[in-house]
Every structure is written in structure tokens, then in C-alpha cells.
Amino acid sequence: MRVAYYSPLPPERSGIADYSSLLLPALRRRIEVEVVRRGRLRPQRAEAALYHIGNSPEAHGWIVEALRRKPGLVVLHDFVLHHLVAGSTLGRGDGAGYLAALERDAGLAGRLLGHAVIEGRIPPLWETRPQDFPLAAEVLDLAPGLIVHSRYVEERARAAGFERPIWRIPHPAWPPPGAEPARMEGEPIVGCFGNINASKRIPQLLRAFLRLRKSHPRARLLLVGEAAPRYPVERRLAQLGLGDDAVHRERYVDEERLWSLMAACTVCVALRSPTMGETSGSAIRALSLARPLVVSDEGWFSELPDEMALKVPPGAHEVDVLTAALELVASSPEARAAMEASAREYVEREHGLERVAEAYAAALEVAAGGEAVRDALLWELARAAAESGFGPREETVLARRLREVGIGP
């Protein structure tokens, strides 16, 4: 079977580009895959299509356009697509498109809010309240099936009325590259990786880290990743008196450096609130290295097993709980060892690359041919029922039995 594959790919700097470059070789061992480049047409011979959709208009706008031309299985990396929709509509001068999307999500109130955004009366919703207006309806309408990475996104899609098949397939883990840990002064070393923006809870992390320094004066924080425009991370560090001895700051790093820095960490922190339904490539990398993890108790992050991820509920006591979590990992070699062992076992069991690729192949094959199989099966059974003089009541029983064994509609 031949599959047309739509995704950002390196050298684009995107978590989904990294994801696809990890997945593609394993997927190609199972099915024929043709990667469709931006601006190219879908290959003629493709029997199925796979569209990776995330929240960035630059990385995914063209993929949504391709999905509109020819529907296919959608990998929904984020449930909240407000940035994507805003960029693809307002960003191209299509105010009406943005208003229509908001109205679809939130009725007339949504349209009015959209007007307010366009007229500059209120700050952009994609910066202030994207989680309240996910704007995923069009993609859900177009997709004959979804691949998601978390129960959270699956539930949100169902709550939004999506009734077609959903495959929940974990994010694949990178094979640990055996990177030499970066030389780094300090003990313990707390790592925070990935793009730095408001949802990463950096203020809370910095306050908790300051408290940790009181009991562990040699503690060091690695803050690695590009800061979002208008996000004043350097100024914030200066305000808190966190100098180079306390915080090691690097912006964009290549893959090799990323692994090396992560390998030097005692614990990795991956906070996220509000969540857009995303998974975290950084958290998966940390688990691949069997690093203890501290995460927000929200979305996909809250689905990680407690044995290897300490959970911090966003809100009033966030800094207290985060401090306690860092203290525990910093002070207890036993706790660290137990978390590391759990991480190894969990990654192998749930996030193994071959297992994930096999699940993708299964989803694609069922999405491409499943309906024809069901039709043929039902036709055969219905013919037998009709020839025997059975009516609709018996057909209902048949349909129920078929569903029980996973082959019914």
C-alpha cells in the first residue's frame, strides 16, 4: 500500500519535523511512503494519505490546504489549532474566515469576539485564551479518522462530536544516542528544554528553583530553547538575581548538543499550562535517557505514570508543589533510581519506535481498506440473513455481535 505523507521535515525547526524524521524510516519498513513536499501535488498512485497537523500556521497551513483537497487520516498533534487557523485566515487578510471559524466554535459570541480582535479592542485570543476556542472543527470535519497521542485529545475530539475512528498511538521514543553528558558545574542540575513561552510556567519554575537553591546552593538550572517574541526571559532572570552560576542559558541547540545537555541533568522539568493537547518531545527525550521528570498535572502530561513523573497541578500551590518535587529528586538517590528504572521500562513498553510504527501501519491500512472489508462482510452476512428470511431485528443482533469482535461498523 502506498501512502502520501504530509508533514514538516528537517531542516524546519519544529517538534513535528523531528517526530516525522524519527518515524519515517520505521514506517517505511512496513508500508510504501511517499513524502509530499510543500507545494507539490499528491502522488497519483497513493491509496491513502496521512496529514500531520499541529498548531503552527507556517509549518502546517499548507497541509490543511492539502487535506481540504483530498481528505485523509489526520495526526492531530495539538487539539487547539487557534494559532494555525488565525495564521491561515487573518494572517492572509481573510478576516471573514477567522470570524466563521470562531462562530463555528462559539456561536455568535465567538464571532463578536473575533470582531473585537480584528478591531484591536481586545488582545488576540490566540495569545490569551486559545484553549477556550480550539478552532479544530474544520480539521475534524475533513478527517475520516484521527491519530492522537493522548487520551486527553481523544476525549476532546469526542466531546467535539467526532464520531469516526480514533487511533491513540504514543509518541515514539528516540533510541538513546549514547551522548556524552555536557560538562556542567553544579549539583543537582535541573533541565528545562524547548521553546520558552508563557505556557511553559517559567516564572513558577524560577521561583521554585530559587527556593531549591536555599537547600542546594550548588543547584544549576539549564534553560535551553528559543524564547518567544515578547517573552522577557533574560530580564526575568536578572530581576531574580539568577546569574550564570545559577542558570545556564542556551538558545537553539542542535540535536547532538540537546542530548548532551539533557544527559547532564539530574532531573528534567516539562511544565505546560494551559495545554493545547500537545505531547512534549523534550519529555519523551528525557524519558529515553531515563531522566526523572517533573511535569504539569494537565493534558497528556498527567497521563504519564506516577512512578517516573512527578506531577505538579497548575494553580495556587504550584510553586510549593514544584519545589517539593525538585527537593525530593535532588535529595533522594533512591527516588531517582526508582524513577529512572520506571522510565526505562515505560519507554520500552509504550513508546518503542517499532511498536509505534506498527500501530501507524495498522491505522493506515484499516483507514484505507476497512470500509470495503466491512461492506463485503456485511453484504455476505446480510445475504445469508435475507435468504433465510430474517429481518431487521436479527440484523441488529448480528451488528451487535460484529461490533463485539471488532469487525462491525
Partner 1 sequence: MRIAVCSPQVPFAHGGAELLAERLTLELNEAGHETALVTVPFKWYPGTRVLTQAFLWRALDLDETDGRPIELVIATKFPSYAVRHPKKIVWLVHQFRQAYELDGTELGQFGSSPEDRALRRSVHELDRRTLGEARALFAISRNVAERLERSTGLVADVLLPPPQQLDYRCESYGDFILSVSRLDRAKRVDLLLEALAADPALRCVVAGEGPDRERLEELARRRGLDGRATFAGRVGKGELADLYARCLAVFYAPLDEDFGMVPYEAFLAEKPVVTTTDAGGPLDAVADRRTGLVCEPSAGAVAEACSWLRGHPQDARAWGRAGKALAERLTWGEVVETLLARA
- Binding residues (CB under 8 A) for partner 1: these are 1, 47-48, 362, 365-366, 368-370, 372-373, 376-377, 380-381, 398, 401-402, 404-407
Of 109 and 407, the one with the shorter C-beta distance to partner 1 is 407
Per the CB < 8 A criterion, the answer to whether 105 and 135 are in contact is yes
Q: How far is the CB of 407 from partner 1 (least distance, A)?
A: 5
Q: How far is the CB of 48 from partner 1 (least distance, A)?
A: 7
Best CA proximity match to 156, nearest among 277, 295, 50, 274: 277
Quick one: 252 exposed, middle or buried, by C-beta within 10 A (0-12, 13-18, 19+)?
exposed
Of 335 and 398, the one with the shorter C-beta distance to partner 1 is 398
Of 376 and 386, the one with the shorter C-beta distance to partner 1 is 376
Cβ-based neighbour number of residue 168 at 10 Å: 14
Q: How far is the CB of 384 from partner 1 (least distance, A)?
A: 8
Residues 6+ apart with CB under 8 A from 294: 267, 268, 269, 270, 271, 309, 310, 312, 322, 325, 326, 329
- Output the nine-digit C-alpha cell for 2: 502506498
Of 90 and 169, the one with the shorter C-beta distance to partner 1 is 169
Q: How far is the CB of 356 from partner 1 (least distance, A)?
A: 14
Q: How far is the CB of 399 from partner 1 (least distance, A)?
A: 11
Q: How far is the CB of 405 from partner 1 (least distance, A)?
A: 5
Of 196 and 367, the one with the shorter C-beta distance to partner 1 is 367
Q: How far is the CB of 367 from partner 1 (least distance, A)?
A: 8
Of 116 and 397, the one with the shorter C-beta distance to partner 1 is 397
Of 240 and 377, the one with the shorter C-beta distance to partner 1 is 377
Q: How far is the CB of 7 from partner 1 (least distance, A)?
A: 21
Type of residue numbered 181: P
Best CA proximity match to 231, nearest among 87, 118, 127: 127
d(CA 331, CA 241): 24
Of 2 and 311, the one with the shorter C-beta distance to partner 1 is 2
Per the CB < 8 A criterion, the answer to whether 40 and 69 are in contact is no
Q: How far is the CB of 33 from partner 1 (least distance, A)?
A: 14
Q: In 160-279, which ranges are continuous DSSP H helix? A: 202-215, 233-239, 255-263
Of 210 and 381, the one with the shorter C-beta distance to partner 1 is 381
SS3 218: coil
Transcribe 270-329 into DSSP letters.
Answer: E--SS--S---HHHHHHHHTT--EEEESSGGGGGS-TTTEEEE-SSTTHHHHHHHHHHHH
Per the CB < 8 A criterion, the answer to whether 187 and 110 are in contact is no
- Say how many CA atoms lie within 13 Å of 35 toward its Cβ: 14
Of 84 and 356, the one with the shorter C-beta distance to partner 1 is 356
Q: How far is the CB of 50 from partner 1 (least distance, A)?
A: 14
SS3 2: strand
Only one residue has cell 560538562, namely 183
Residues 6+ apart with CB under 8 A from 387: none
d(CA 9, CA 21): 7
